Structure 1
Amino acid sequence: MFMLHEHNLKIEQMDAYMKSKDFLDALDIGLLIKQSTKNNELAETQFTVNGEAISVVTKRDTRPQHISLIERLATNIDNFLLVSDYITPNAKKELKKRSINYVDSFGNAFLNLKATKVYIEKGDAKPVFNQYSKVFTQAGGQILFQLLQDPEKINETYRRLAEISEVSLGSVSKFINGLQDEGYIVQWNNDKKYQLVKREELLEKWIILVNEKILPAYKIGTFRFGSQRNLVIKENVQGFETRWGGEPGAASITNYLNPTVYSLFTNRSKKDLIKSLRLIPDSNGEITVYNLFWKQGSVNYNYDDVAVHPLLIYAELIYSGNERNVETAQILYNEYIAPKL
């Protein structure tokens, strides 16, 4: 077993090296790249550029919410290099500002080494995700919210998945077919039951989906507190669900965060929010309110009285890129999310 693990590790190191070399060679600026026999346990591979040792970590997509975690790695690895298929324009600015070396598949690069200085910016490019994916759509993201909470739900009927995810039957059918086509579900036995695989990858992509596609579509508006800042919002009326997400949700679950930005999820109307919850519409308000994108009663809330599911809170905190939020997100991940992956 140990020999197999060691073999797989060497394959991963070689893959990371070849990817890095391909990206750097494509810059066509005469860099001399040689593989190194040295190892750093935090890096995926090591090699030299013009005789200078480099330690590499690879990613598919790099966005602003990833920067704080990347910066932590960079501070613990000498001559760190991020090799990413796609890096958003804002993420590139943040990496350069922090003097973190990077190269992407589109020929953008920043190398600030002792003997080698490179900065190439070719402008924006499209992400490497398959834009025709049947999985990574708004409807797919709503279904994934249910599956990442409880992977066993993959074997629910299409009708049940559609109901709890607030999507159409057709969307569920396309989504399941997409999971099969893209290798995210397998059948281990003959009883025709599916198993969700590559869950960590699904989670990473879902963070982007929920923040960039789902939340904008379900946004009710922005508000501010009235005369009193009330974080203890408990629904006592049957048929309604109102819960804190993001920073206040995390504060309620972990007691580790003092919220300054608020997100609230509800199936109440805007009129109800003003009348019953004493929230005041304000385009510059600190509270962003969203409609529920799940069926009321479909989410297990046995961990907290006023917060949404930790999965959604985690996604909001990670996406914010705020260091304290990311630390809090890690607490939520370790306790509530990782055991399901």
Structure 2
Amino acid sequence: MFSSDEHAGLLNAMGWPAEVRARLEELGLRVEVLDAEASAPDGPRGHQMDAVVRLTTESGAVRTYGVEIKRRMTAELATAVHFPSALPPLLFTAHLGDPVAERLRARGIDYVDTAGNAHLAWDDVLIDVRGRRKPAAPAGRASMRGAGAFGRAGLQVLFVLLSWPEVTGFSYRLLAALSGVSLGTVKTVIDELTNAGYLYQAGDKRRLARGAELLDRWSEAYTITLEPALALGEFEAADLSWWRNSQEAFFSLQAQVGGEAGASLLDPHLRPASLTLYVESLPVRLIGQHRMARAEKDGNVHIRTRFWKEPAPQPWSESWIVPSPLIYADMLASGDPRQREHADRIRSSDDRLKRIDRT
């Protein structure tokens, strides 16, 4: 969810409800914009919708949707995005290309964009409009989401707070050291989270609130903003069987396993087809030892920057695995529906993620 000021700005910038109403009415639908709080219960994780609309066809068929507003939608995000509303979801975004729209349809998510592309399906109703081009953006349009808590550096702070909620009350200086950012960034993130209701004061300590919603937002923003910035290299290895027996080597490199390889250590049903390593610098010796070749794109070994420090030493059995919020986000960011299914299963079984969802 957005803060009230951010949400109002987003609605104005994207032309809601006027622009979406116009697009839906062009399709022959009668549109009623309802009160989001009064019209439907919150989702199972306490997530409130951006809006609620009731659509009626000329034949009298009716459906009420929970509307989720996203500034942009990539193919990876179409797989990663979570819609926890108790109502059927209707995505509203600026423009959807065909590959992105196809992923949304495969997940059963209805949508409409500002160009008039739309997919709505219920009972005997099917509205399917494709191929309309992206409308030109007016000059000077402001960004709809600030760089603070959900900018690159802010996402690093959020990762630490989600992974180790006990550090929420730490000093700004300690939080900056753990997340690898400046003191000013930490202050901005704490202020924004507090104003948005994600942090509250309990006595002399800060505590997280609405953790499930925050994890959803962090995972989506990670896919777009942070994950691409962490890339150190893509490699292809003919054999990946060695990594499970490399704890000692990883420990000496201060390397940790993430992505679906890390997930396979949490979920024995998963057989990983790739390895994601988080390191402080490119492990040249490891790359040579296992004959990894540089891949132009999408190799089966992803090497990324390990930007965080852990607040306390971890047991040997856990120190080589990244915290599960990052494993979860990595799998969503992959854009692979198979990994998405495993990510959902891990979210419902992993103790750390369950604790976040209960916050």
Pairwise TM-score range, normalised by the shorter structure: 0.7 to 0.9
Confirm or deny: 8 A CA contact 1:39 1:46 kept in the other structure: no
- Unaligned 5+ segments in structure 2 are 1-14, 44-48
1:56 aligns with 2:52: no
TM norm structure 2: 0.71
1:95 aligns with 2:94: no
2: CA distance between counterparts of 1:39 and 1:186?
Answer: 26
RMSD of the TM alignment (CA)? 4.1
1:123 is matched with 134
Judging changes above 3 Å, is the alpha-carbon distance between structure 1 residues 124 and 215 closer, same or farther for their aligned structure 2 residues?
farther
Confirm or deny: 8 A CA contact 1:314 1:329 kept in the other structure: yes
Which of 283, 292, 303 lines up with 1:280 in the alignment?
292
Q: More displaced, 42-51 or 194-203? A: 42-51
Confirm or deny: 8 A CA contact 1:134 1:175 kept in the other structure: yes
Which of 174, 190, 195 lines up with 1:160 in the alignment?
174
> Shift of residue 254 of structure 1?
1.0
Which of 247, 253, 257 lines up with 2:270 in the alignment?
257
1:244 is matched with 257
- Unaligned 5+ segments in structure 1 are 1-18
2: CA distance between counterparts of 1:295 and 1:251?
Answer: 23
**Partner SS for 2:241:** coil
- Deviation readout 1:125-157 (Å, 9 max, x if unpaired): 889974324111111111111101122322111
**Partner SS for 1:132:** coil
> Shift of residue 66 of structure 1?
5.9
2: CA distance between counterparts of 1:262 and 1:186?
Answer: 38
The percentage of counterpart residues that share the same residue type is 25
Judging changes above 3 Å, is the alpha-carbon distance between structure 1 residues 56 and 154 closer, same or farther for their aligned structure 2 residues?
same
Instruction: Give the residue type in structure 1 aligned to 2:100.
Output: A
> Shift of residue 265 of structure 1?
1.3
> Shift of residue 313 of structure 1?
0.9
1: CA distance between counterparts of 2:82 and 2:222?
Answer: 24
Confirm or deny: 8 A CA contact 1:165 1:294 kept in the other structure: yes
2:339 is matched with 325
Instruction: Give the residue type in structure 1 aligned to 2:272.
Output: P
> Shift of residue 332 of structure 1?
1.8
Judging changes above 3 Å, is the alpha-carbon distance between structure 1 residues 299 and 256 closer, same or farther for their aligned structure 2 residues?
farther
1:179 aligns with 2:201: no
Confirm or deny: 8 A CA contact 1:60 1:128 kept in the other structure: no
1:32 is matched with 30
1: CA distance between counterparts of 2:185 and 2:282?
Answer: 26
For residues 130-279 of structure 1, what are the structure 2 equivalents within 5 Å? 130-189=144-203, 191=204, 193-225=205-237, 229-232=241-244, 233-235=246-248, 240-275=253-288, 277-279=289-291
Tell me the matched-pair count: 315
**Partner SS for 2:242:** coil
**Partner SS for 1:194:** strand
Confirm or deny: 8 A CA contact 1:220 1:270 kept in the other structure: no
Instruction: Give the residue type in structure 2 aligned to 1:286.
Output: N
Instruction: Give the residue type in structure 2 aligned to 1:25.
Output: R
Confirm or deny: 8 A CA contact 1:234 1:242 kept in the other structure: no
TM norm structure 1: 0.74
2: CA distance between counterparts of 1:55 and 1:69?
Answer: 24
Judging changes above 3 Å, is the alpha-carbon distance between structure 1 residues 94 and 130 closer, same or farther for their aligned structure 2 residues?
same
Judging changes above 3 Å, is the alpha-carbon distance between structure 1 residues 69 and 155 closer, same or farther for their aligned structure 2 residues?
closer
Confirm or deny: 8 A CA contact 1:101 1:110 kept in the other structure: yes
2: CA distance between counterparts of 1:188 and 1:211?
Answer: 32
- Deviation readout 1:289-338 (Å, 9 max, x if unpaired): 11211126657567746432211111111222323212211222122302
Confirm or deny: 8 A CA contact 1:223 1:288 kept in the other structure: yes
Judging changes above 3 Å, is the alpha-carbon distance between structure 1 residues 104 and 128 closer, same or farther for their aligned structure 2 residues?
farther
